[in-house]
Amino acid sequence: MFQVPRGTRDFIPDEMQKRRFLETNMARTFTSFGYGEIQTPTFENLELFTAKSGESIINELYSFTDKGGRALALRPELTAPVIRCYVERMQMEPKPLKLFYFGNCYRYDRPQKGRYREFQQAGCEIIGTDTSETIAELLALAYTLLRNTGLKNIQLNIGNLTIISALFKKLHLLKEDQKILLPLIDKSQFDDLKIALRDCNVSEDNIESFLDVLQTSEIKKIRSFLADDPDAQTELTAMETILDLLKNAFQIKEYLIKLSIVRGLDYYKGLVFEIDAPVLGAEKQLCGGGSYDLIPLFGGTDVPTSGFAVGFDRTLLALEEEGFHFPPTRLDAFIIPINQTMNTTAIQITQELRTHGIATDFDQLRRGIGKSLKYADAKHAEKVILVGPKELENNTVTLRDMKTGTQEIVPLTDIHVKLKKI
């Protein structure tokens, strides 16, 4: 038998219902923040992804050569594609440009719960501004987006790559050293980080202070360690303004400063952030984002850019883990002809109700009433309409409420009015 490829999944109707429900919910939040939707192709020229990250990224991609000999890749994320589209078609649009998207992404990851080779992201990019209000709003949007889905337990962690660079500078760490240290910081592997810092000839005192600053959530402490770096002080002041707006204007008070948030992708700079759902355990990162630079690399006129992406599949998993009740797939009405001579009328009623936007189906297996009622129940039908010859003589049908089991005789002309009230 054939099976789905490793790391991919089918979504059957009950699962699609949940996905569409979540997508609608998220689209509503994005649009409420003034964002417009964008869609880009599933595959891009391979170079779009190697331009910043180098050839080594190819190991993590689904890349291929097409029949015309072009090197292509299934997108691993949507930031580079959206910025490519911006440079190609939208540079003249009024700023700021606020774009959101849903899209499947492909990464040659090792599959496990919450980690797939094909997965969906919901994300956004804001182009043309990096004021404190912009970054504060971006953080607020990411947090609100996930909160609005119904998730109860999420953690927003905020880091800053400019400050990380200042820390590296203070410890006189070379670029090559940083490449080894950053992944250890990213994974919060502080014991290994200590050993690596010793290998880089950093003094024990500085190692202790560095680890302390990486794990503190107090800007004051970070400030005092970087007291002799005026650029770092300016960046910290900017960060304080952003956090002040987040807290007092956007009314989001639940966040932590966490300098160990350094993000895996190569294009970030300045403020970066992640949102976790602790309920998910190992693959708990729901969202990641921050400010980044890609426009000049793609040949556009430089303007500031920031954004984030949410792992759609992980958000669903987190909601399920928290016991969220998704509305089931349902029918407004199910029509049962009492016998086959009633078939035409049953179908006519079905069609009529459908024109009123009422989700309606009818028995197509010519089953008895008992079995049809069972099927209607399994399909979560709110009402059942029994079409029988006696009632039809008076232009009426029997309307059964599936929740209460009560039945009433209803004139044919009134059915759609009755059902609209569901």
Burial degree of 270 (CB within 10 A; 0-12, 13-18, 19+): buried
By CB under 6 A, is residue 109 in contact with ligand HAM? yes
Half-sphere exposure of 198 (CA within 13 A, CB side): 8
Residue nearest to ligand HAM (CB): 311
Q: Which amino acid is at 354?
A: R
Q: Does 289 bind ligand HAM (CB under 6 A)?
A: yes
Q: From CA 241, how far away is CA 237, in angstroms rounded?
A: 6
Residue 103 or 337 with smaller CB distance to ligand HAM = 103
Note whether 79 binds ligand HAM by CB under 6 A. yes
Smallest distance from the beta carbon of 334 to ligand HAM, in angstroms?
37
For ligand HAM, which stretch binds (CB under 6 A), given 144-152, 219-227, 304-312, 382-390?
304-312
| Smaller CB separation from ligand HAM, 93 or 204 | 93
Tell me the site size for ligand HAM, rule CB under 6 A. Answer: 23
Give whichever of 27 and 265 is closer to ligand HAM, judged by the CB atom.
265
Is the Cβ–Cβ distance between 236 and 164 less than 8 Å?
no
Binding segment for ligand HAM (CB under 6 A), chosen from 120-128, 142-150, 209-217, 243-251, is 120-128
287 binds ligand HAM (CB under 6 A): yes
Residue 306's beta-bridge partner residues? 126, 291
Residue whose CB is less far from ligand HAM, 119 or 225: 119
Residue 409 and residue 420 in contact, taking contact as beta carbons nearer than 8 Å: no
Query: Is 300 an interacting residue with respect to ligand HAM (CB under 6 A)?
Result: no
Q: Which of 35, 86, 101, 119 binds ligand HAM (CB under 6 A)?
A: 119
CB of 418 to ligand HAM, least distance (A): 45
To the nearest whole angstrom, how small is the minimum distance from the Cβ of residue 351 to ligand HAM? 42
- Under the criterion CB under 6 A, does residue 292 sit at the interface with ligand HAM? yes
Identify which of 310, 311, 190, 306 has the alpha carbon closest to the alpha carbon of residue 259.
190
Residue 266 CA to residue 293 CA, distance in Å, equals: 9
Which two structure tokens, joined as six digits, stand for 213?
């600053």
Binding range to ligand HAM, per CB under 6 A, among 37-45, 112-120, 146-154, 185-193: 112-120
389-408: contacts with ligand HAM (CB under 6 A): none
Return the range that interacts with ligand HAM (CB under 6 A); candidates 26-34, 156-164, 210-218, 308-316. Answer: 308-316
The DSSP-derived string for 209-239 is HHHHHHH---HHHHHHHTTT-HHHHHHHHHH
Handedness of CA 287, 285, 175, 178 (dihedral sign): positive
Separation of alpha carbons 309 and 61, rounded Å: 18
> For residue 115, what is the DSSP state?
B
Separation between Cα atoms, residue 117 and residue 121, nearest integer Å: 12
Residues near ligand HAM (CB under 6 A) are 77, 79, 107, 109, 115-116, 119, 121, 123, 125, 265, 285-289, 292, 307-309, 311, 313-314
